[in-house]
């Protein structure tokens, strides 16, 4: 479960934060090759994937790494 899903965001909002649109079919994940959204001017997609986390532990470990590297 992703952090933003836990925070109450819908899947369509998460799709806007990914680098490109993804679809899940069974156990496989599919996406468009060549990053068409970025080619069409959606440059925020280069930065927003850092906002999507796999859960509280993932977010906590990322924040600890940032804190350690800043010290």
* Domain definitions of the chain by residue range: 3-70
pLDDT at position 1, please?
A: 44
pLDDT at position 8, please?
A: 55
Residues (pLDDT < 70) of the chain are: 1-9
Q: Label residues 6-43 b or e (16+ Cβ within 10 Å = b).
A: eeebeeeebeebebbeeeeeeeeeeeeeeeebeeeeee
pLDDT at position 41, please?
A: 93
pLDDT at position 64, please?
A: 92
How many Å apart are CA 11 and CA 2, to the nearest integer? 10
The model carries a pTM of: 0.55
């Amino acid at each position: 479960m992703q952090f933003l899903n836990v925070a109450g965001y819908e899947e369509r909002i998460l799709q806007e934060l990914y680098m490109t649109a993804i679809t899940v079919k069974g156990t496989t994940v599919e996406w468009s090759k060549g990053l068409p959204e970025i080619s069409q001017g959606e440059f925020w997609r280069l930065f927003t994937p850092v906002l999507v986390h796999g859960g509280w532990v993932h977010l906590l470990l990322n924040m600890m790494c940032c804190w350690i590297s800043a010290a």
